[in-house]
Every structure is written in structure tokens, then in C-alpha cells.
Structure 1
């Protein structure tokens, strides 16, 4: 463990070394060569980028090679600076002592390290994450190049917080964050690969596919966390102190999240609903477009999507129009006046339903008179369609065809009639005027 005296002595020795280096005339020669090389490299990078079309560069090449080529073009200035510093270092080594070109060696190594980091981080799509990883990796490389990596690691490991049997140090936390990010990234890549294989399988139902994908993702994440904790030397039994707090947190603040997660697993296992089903939950109707850990997404067909918690599908009444069979019975209720022939009305209604292209040909439509009401005769037309999706459109088309048929055969649809009695007016007493509603 490094104490304050050792840190003070290290800082003083570093200051003396820097002072001796700055006092040497060779320092200014190397500084001038570095500035000159930086200017030349900047000009080379600008010339390369201006002469090459980045959008058409490497077209037709495999994606990894095309990506590598574009990164090299964008980093042309860095590559040119590294080559210039290596050349200047070689010339200085041939003409004078190696210690007089130490800064050129450091500059060349830092430039090469930055170039390698840019190539490696090019596979990361998140721009903020690229900056963080690049800076952290280049800082480690810089400390290693100047020989200060081990002292820095010892300093980070010298301060600790002990919680039960767990010793937390800044170095341990940094290792944990880096390794955990890398492990979760690899776990995500593996999960996407397995998800693609499962999705292409025709032997698995959609609900089983979603269930397997969710369980695989969860299992890979847990495995990644366990591996990382073991790699940094954290014993899982040392985390037992946090189990009580986690249990209390779940009991008070996370109970809905846990309930939705368990409900989602139950829904995927019992196959009561699955992606593609047409459902009605309360006032929300639509097709299930996705089933997630916390909720399902129901597309209403008009651009809206209802995000319904999984728990509601367990505790509330759910109408699944496609649970066992997609064939759906459509009902059309209408009324005619008493002057119409009810047998003719039923025949026209059946013909209108049979003319619909969505009507199932193997099941004949049916029309029944259901009531002799005050306003007229009430009928119910029923017919089957093969898929409930777009049922309202089919119903509207049949009603329009029925309206045209009624117009052709002079069958009227009744409307409310109101009587207005005028007393003491210009009309004779007892005269009634019928006003359509």
C-alpha cells in the first residue's frame, strides 16, 4: 500500500526528471520535430480525405474490410504522424544517444496506440461509448508507455472500503465496470445470434420462440455477471449482506415489475396469447405486435399502440379472437319497415353477405328476423370470415351492399316519427303534423 510519503517522493522524483528533460536542448529539438510532423500529418490527412469519396470507398468489398478502410482513411493524419515519428526516431538513433530521442519514441507509440484504438472501437455504434472507451484505453496505453501504469494501479488499489467480507477499491470498481460492460456486450451479441436461429425455426410456435429468447437473454446476462464477479475476485457469498436490502426493495418498490415479469413468463408458457393474435382487453382492441418482459404491445390499426402490462392479462378478462381458430362470425343488425317482405329482406341480406370477397364460401350466411318492434322489423345477418383482422371494414362493405339492394327494391329503413300538436294556432284543432326525427 502506498502512503502519503511515498506519493510525495514519487511526485518529487517525477518533477526532477521532467525538469532535467526540459533543461536539455535536445528536448526542444524533439518538440520541434513533433510539431513539424504534426503539421505535415495534418496536411496529408486533409489531402487524403479530399481526394477520396467516403460514400463510394470500398463498395463491393466485404463489410469488415470496407469498415477498416474507411477508419484508416479517417485516421490518415494519425497514421502519417506515427510514421514520421518512427522515421525521426530512427534518424536520431543513428546519429546520437537513444536518450536524446525518447520523446519521439513516446509520441510514435502514443500515435500507434490511438490508431489501434480507433480501429478496434469502430465496431461500436454508440458514439458516446466510443469516446469513453477510446479515452480510457488510450490513458492506460499512455501510462504503460511512460512506465507509470504499475504505480498508478498501486495507488488506485491503496484506498479501500470494507463492507463485510468485501473490500472495495477504485481499481476493483474500474475492473468490474470494464469487464461487466464487455461481458454484457458479448452476451448481447450471443443473444442476437441465438435469437436469429430461434426465429427461423419453423418447429416452434411464436409464443415458445419469445419465451426461449427471453430466457436465453436473462440466462446469458446472469452468466456474464457471475463470470465477471469471479474474475475480479469477488466471492458471491460476500454479497449476502445486500440480499436483505434487495428483498425489501422488491417488496416495496419493485413488486409491480416482478409481477409483470412473472406474468409475462406465464403468458408465454401457457400460450393464451401470442404475437399476431387479435385481442380485446377492456376498451383496447388490436393485434399483438410484441411481447416484452413488462408489457405487451397491441397495435390498434390506426397508428396507435397500446402498451398493456402483463399483469392485466392475468387478472382481467381478455377476448382472444384467434385463440384456437381465426374463423370469426360477423353480425350485422338492421331494421326495415312493416311494408317490406321479410323473406325478400332475408334473401337480399344473404346475397349481400355472399358477395363479400372476405366471406367464407364454405359456410352459408344466415339471416333471421328477431323482433317486431315499434319502429319496424329487426333482423340479424350473420356470416363467417377467415380472419378477424379488418372485421369492421367487412361489416361496413356488407351494410353498404345491403343499402343499395334496399334502394333497388324500394325497401325503407324506418326512422323515428314525432307528433307535434298545435293548440290555439292557425291549424284546425286536432290536426297533427308528422316530423321525421
Structure 2
């Protein structure tokens, strides 16, 4: 960086600004016009209040109408202020008064109104404000006649990068602005791709989600490269930062990278997809969302678990609806030995058929499972197709019907059978005789 040349540019820019201030600001006529501009702003604020109340009271049905109303509320005061300054300018011309401050103020205000109108369709408020501020700043410098000098100054203030190259402040500002605009456009394009894919029935939900994420990643990557390249920056300069980032990923971001690639694997092999009912480490619920780093699982009680994608790859996952949603349930029933086993089996099957969520096909079955110490063990097997609505509740409903039918038909549930053997010991017979 040529320090002496930079100092000369700064000095020239400061002298030109000072000369302009002395010629156009430090005079009685200029001060009077500045006071008139300030008073007109106060009048515009007061006059805009009833108009804003009337606009805010209007009922808007569509979203576009609401956005139009918001823009109108934003521009009412500047529009009235602009009209008042135009009236003041006409008065200054009538009395042949130097009207440079009024003309500059009117041009700046008109540029601001025009820029805000052009950025009104931008839905992102932060991006709309950023574009408006940058555009108005450039317009203001141009109106004041110091745009060229400011750009020359920013070009000469540079950071040496070695090998005779330098990174100027002007290039940095242009690169940041281009990067923001191109990334914003890439995100809008990715949203458009996502909407188009959501309307396509040719892909599964997991495939649509995978294509959406790949499209967003590629569009943002291209936007970054194009944005930096359009600013005239040498992309080889960022090779060092790319190497540092790779080292950071290798050492400090292992789990993050693992979860990222695990998410892509889950989307590609379609073992887990939105809407599936899964069980992992005691957590039972349905998949609400497959994100880049985690998977959202909502349980029956409304609790949302964020399970890292790596756990879904490395641990055992029960997917109740992987190939289909048919799930067989098992309900074990123990009856006493003096009960009629055939009647008990028939009542169990009837209880399953009378339960709302139990399927008729495949039909419920009741098997004699075992002869235990306390009674005969039966197992009722039936099928459901909506595991996302819960499993324990349907088992409970079947058990309640079995309870009612067994009590009505005289089928008894056994009590635990225990044989007690008294061990003979000195003095035990005498104690037993005395107590009895």
C-alpha cells in the first residue's frame, strides 16, 4: 500500500468536502433553508398521523394487500415531507434565493422513496433494508458529487497480501455486498426448487428432502464462488482458510460432520423417512422432520426429541412402519386350571374384534402358550395399522374387554399357588400347639 498516495487522497477528499461545506452550508441562506427543511419534517409528521391511522384501520384480506399497507405506512411521512419541500423550493425560486440545500434534500428524499418502492417486493425485511441503505448511500454520494472521490479513496486504502498484491477496502465492500446478494438469490432459488419438488409425486418424501438439501447446498456454494469472483478477489487467497477449515472439521467437528453425512445416508437409503414410527433407546414416536444434523421424533405425549443422525446409523432402531404399517400386538392372559380354555380363547378373540383399531384381516388369534405353576397361559395376537396412534392404549382396551367378558362368563384369573413346608425344629411343635 502506497501510504503517501493514500494520505494525499484522504487530504484531497477532506478539502473537497470542506470547500463544499463552506460554499453551501456556512451561509445565512443555507441555514434558513435547513431550518425550513426541519420544520417541514415536523409538519409532515403531524399531518401523517391521521392518514396512518386511517390506513392501519383498513381490513386487508390477502397477504399482498397487507404488505402494500405496510409499505404505505412507511412512505406516508416521507411523501408528505417531499411535497412540502417542493413547495418550499418553488417559493425559493420565486424570490430568486440560492436553493442548493433544498434541491439536495429533495433529490435525497426522492431517491429514498424510489428505492423503498423498488425494494417493497422483497419479502425478507433485513435484505430489503440492506439493499435500500446501500443503494441510497451510493445515490447520496452521487448527488453530493463526491462518489468518484470516495471510490478512489476506498481503492487506495488497501491491505498488503504479499507478492505485490493488496486487498482494498473497496473490493472488500463490493465482495461483501455481492456475497450477500448472491446468497440471498440462491436461497430464494432453493425455496423455488423445494416448492416445485413438493408438488411432484414422482419422488418419495425422503427423496424430495434429499434433492432439496443438495440443491440448496450447491446453489449457496455457487453463489459464494460467483459473489467473490465478481468482486475481483483472487480465490486462491482463500486456499489457506480452506485448509484451516478442513483441519477444524477433522479434529473439532467430527461429530457434526458425522451427523451431516449420516443425514444424507438416511435420505439416500430411505431406511428412515418423515412419518415413520420408530423406537430407539426407549423413545417411541413418529419422525416429524429430518434435518441436516438431527432427526425430530415426537412421542405420544407431545415431547419432541432431537436424535442425532449418527445414532440412527450406529444404533439399533425399530422402525414400525419401514415396509408397511401393519404391526402385530401380543397380549398374554393367565387363566386358572378349572376354567374352560376353549371359551377363554373365544372370548379373547371376540374382545380383539370388538376393539376399534384392531384389524379384521389378518384375523386375531389366541394361542395356548404354556402350562405354568399358577395357571394356563394364553396369548392373544392381533394386528393394527396405525402404530403412530400408540400401542399401549390399544392393548389396554383389549385387556379391559377381556376382563369384562371373563367376569361375565365365569372365567377365573388364578392366584399365585404356593406350598408351605414347615421344617421340624426343637420347640417348634410346642409353640405351634400353644398358638393353635
TM-score by length of structure 1 reads 0.88
**Higher RCO, Cα 8 Å, sep 6+:** 2
Deviation at 1:102, TM superposition (A): 0.6
Deviation at 1:127, TM superposition (A): 5.7
Q: In structure 2, what is the Cα distance between the partners aligned to 1:265 and 1:22? A: 63
Deviation at 1:383, TM superposition (A): 0.8
Deviation at 1:328, TM superposition (A): 0.9
Q: Is the deviation greater in 127-136 or in 243-252?
A: 127-136
Pick aligned residue for 1:141 from 131, 139, 142: 139
For 1:365-380, list aligned pairs within 5 A.
Answer: 365-380=364-379
Pick aligned residue for 1:32 from 20, 30, 35: 35
Pick aligned residue for 1:158 from 135, 152, 156: 156
Q: Secondary structure in 2 aligned to 1:3?
A: helix
Q: Secondary structure in 1 aligned to 2:99?
A: helix
- CA change 1:163–1:375 in 2 (3 A) is farther
- CA change 1:343–1:36 in 2 (3 A) is same
Deviation at 1:381, TM superposition (A): 0.7
- CA change 1:6–1:228 in 2 (3 A) is closer
Q: In structure 1, what is the Cα distance between the partners aligned to 2:162 and 2:311? A: 41
Q: In structure 2, what is the Cα distance between the partners aligned to 1:364 and 1:311? A: 39
Q: In structure 1, what is the Cα distance between the partners aligned to 2:168 and 2:401? A: 78
- CA change 1:168–1:202 in 2 (3 A) is same
Deviation at 1:368, TM superposition (A): 1.4
Q: In structure 2, what is the Cα distance between the partners aligned to 1:377 and 1:151? A: 98
- CA change 1:220–1:33 in 2 (3 A) is same
- CA change 1:147–1:409 in 2 (3 A) is same
Residues 331 and 380, structure 2, Cα contact 8 Å, conserved in 1: yes
- CA change 1:319–1:69 in 2 (3 A) is closer
- CA change 1:16–1:425 in 2 (3 A) is farther
Deviation at 1:94, TM superposition (A): 4.8
**Map of 2:281 onto structure 1:** 282
Aligned residues: 425
**Map of 1:54 onto structure 2:** 56
**Map of 1:109 onto structure 2:** 107
Structure 1 residue 72 corresponds to structure 2 residue 75: no
**Map of 1:10 onto structure 2:** 13
Deviation at 1:45, TM superposition (A): 0.9
- CA change 1:22–1:359 in 2 (3 A) is closer
Extract structure 1 runs of 4+ deviating beyond 6 A: 417-421, 423-427
- CA change 1:71–1:172 in 2 (3 A) is same
Q: Secondary structure in 2 aligned to 1:400?
A: helix
- CA change 1:107–1:336 in 2 (3 A) is same
Q: Secondary structure in 2 aligned to 1:272?
A: coil
Q: Secondary structure in 2 aligned to 1:75?
A: helix
For 1:193-232, list aligned pairs within 5 A.
Answer: 193-232=192-231
Q: Is the deviation greater in 373-382 or in 120-129?
A: 120-129
- CA change 1:146–1:346 in 2 (3 A) is same
Deviation at 1:268, TM superposition (A): 0.9
Q: Secondary structure in 1 aligned to 2:387?
A: coil
Q: In structure 2, what is the Cα distance between the partners aligned to 1:331 and 1:29? A: 92
Residues 194 and 212, structure 2, Cα contact 8 Å, conserved in 1: yes
For 1:74-89, list aligned pairs within 5 A.
Answer: 74-89=74-89
Gaps of 5+ in 2: 423-427
Q: Deviations over 1:277-331 (max 9, x none)?
A: 1111222111111111111111112111111111111111111111112111111
Q: Deviations over 1:9-51 (max 9, x none)?
A: 432343344234344321133123213322321222123123x
TM-score by length of structure 2 reads 0.88
Deviation at 1:249, TM superposition (A): 0.9
